[in-house]
Amino acid sequence: MTISSSLNAGIAALVVNGTKLGAIADNIANASTNGYKRVSVDFKSLVAPAVGGSSGGAGSVRALSARSITTPGAIESSTNSTDLAVIGRGFLPVSTVDEVTGVGEFGSVRLMTSGSFTPDKDGLLRTSSGQVLLGWPAQPDGTIPAYRREVIDDLVPVRVDLNQFVANPTTEVDLGVNLPATATIAGASGDPLDMTVTYYGNLGTAEVLTMTFTPTVPLTGASNSWTLDIADSASGGATIASYTVTFDATQTNGGTLASVTPIGGAPAYDPATGEVDLAVGGGTVSLALGTIGSSSGLVQLSDSFVPISVRRDGSPIGNMVGIEVDNAGMVYSVSSEGFARLIYQIPLIDVPNANALVANNDQTYQFSFAAGNFQLWDAGTGPTGSIAGFARELSTAELGLELTDLIRTQRAYSSGVKVVQTADELLQETNNLKR
């Protein structure tokens, strides 16, 4: 070991501890930055080759910085439904607002583990720093096609319009009605019984299905049979389907449906589901009459006509008032009438070595060769975690740990300064020998 090598080692100590000091300062500055991943600095010794049979000369040291991207931060709740955080493995796909064109295209994909997204003037869901959320668009019927999982070409910027009106047409109506058994016995009046059900058409207009139950009155005994005629106001009040409905009179199944038989060209009754598909104005409505032998749907008991329950989907026209994201990354637009419509799916992107991603500004990352090939997953499937709305990921930097490291680094730096000063003094003494 020589004085010069000691001087070099001391200078190296100043360099590496200065590097660590910079990382600590960065961590402290971002201790309150949502989604920030802590930077750590490791020291690696460098040993000089052996000289003259000794075990080794004075060496040096180098600093290696690493960002632990896979270390999760604590999750904090928020009041914004589109504040998103990944719970577990995976990244949200984003692109900068400068790279998103008006036709929904984008230049490159970046990755985030958390972001606060809000609609801008163009309806793009973006962060305040200009990161636009990307996703797969849903079909008009609310389904997500089988998009490719190994490419990003199918992703589009998530765009919402909270100022538009949307229709929510009725597609299903479930009947729960009790028909009087006394109306089908000999001597009954045979008067028809009417009830109406409101449904909503494709343009948000309210229409009415009028259902007329006419009992079959026998000369003797009981028929337990009815004729059901269904009229539609959207078809000018015309009868669109008719059925003969009979009920069981046995001791075990008394009052339950026994059969539903179409009359003329009425749509067929499906005994497995208990439904008939009615062609109403503008579309199809599935009318649930009940399954054979079931006590739900249409029943015939006692002497009262009672519409027990009528359930239907659909609602009047409403305007979009909000956006919600579920754990599977499904993005729903919520209307003022309370119904939700699926508009996008946010996939999670995973890579084999996430810590090798390249860190960019605004807590975003980009692909690298060392990170490996990416894959797009449905949130909550495969190796990926879920997506939480109303949530933000906090910084992984802890002030207590950083301040402790700061003290150690300061001591090490001061010791390095002392080594340099001592080596300089020894060199000065050596230089004075020739005088």
pLDDT digits (tens, 9 = 90+) for 90-145: 999 999 988 887 666 777 899 999 999 999 988 899 999 999 999 999 998 889 99
For residues 291-298, average pLDDT: 93
For residues 398-405, average pLDDT: 90
pLDDT digits (tens, 9 = 90+) for 330-353: 999 888 777 888 999 999 999 999
Sign of CA dihedral 216, 217, 220, 223: positive
Whether the pLDDT of residue 162 is over 80: the answer is: no
Q: Where in the chain is the domain with CATH 2.60.98.20?
A: 170-313
Look at residue 335 in the predicted model and tell me its pLDDT. 83
CB crowding 267-291: b at 16 or more within 10 Å, else e:
bebeeeebbbbbebbeeebbbbbbb
Look at residue 364 in the predicted model and tell me its pLDDT. 95
98 close to 118: Cβ distance less than 8 angstroms: no
Look at residue 256 in the predicted model and tell me its pLDDT. 96
Whether the pLDDT of residue 307 is over 80: the answer is: yes
Look at residue 435 in the predicted model and tell me its pLDDT. 60
Whether the pLDDT of residue 202 is over 60: the answer is: yes
pLDDT digits (tens, 9 = 90+) for 21-70: 889 999 999 999 999 999 988 887 776 665 555 555 556 777 888 898 99
- Distance of alpha carbon 81 from alpha carbon 234, whole angstroms: 39
For residues 301-327, average pLDDT: 89
Look at residue 213 in the predicted model and tell me its pLDDT. 98
- Distance of alpha carbon 65 from alpha carbon 63, whole angstroms: 7
Look at residue 433 in the predicted model and tell me its pLDDT. 76
6 close to 12: Cβ distance less than 8 angstroms: no
CATH topology of domain 170-313: Tick-borne Encephalitis virus Glycoprotein; domain 1 (2.60.98)
**Residue 7 confidence class, pLDDT cut points 50, 70, 90:** confident
- Distance of alpha carbon 415 from alpha carbon 409, whole angstroms: 10
Residue 330: CB atoms within 10 Å: 21
Report the percent of the chain where pLDDT is more than 70.
94
Look at residue 390 in the predicted model and tell me its pLDDT. 95
Report the percent of the chain where pLDDT is more than 90.
65
Look at residue 204 in the predicted model and tell me its pLDDT. 82
For the chain, the average pLDDT equals 89
Look at residue 48 in the predicted model and tell me its pLDDT. 63
Look at residue 1 in the predicted model and tell me its pLDDT. 53
Most confident of 55-59, 167-171, 422-426: 167-171
Look at residue 13 in the predicted model and tell me its pLDDT. 80
Identify the residue with better confidence: 120 or 1: 120
Whether the pLDDT of residue 203 is over 60: the answer is: yes
pLDDT digits (tens, 9 = 90+) for 205-257: 899 999 999 999 999 999 999 999 999 999 999 999 999 999 999 999 999 99
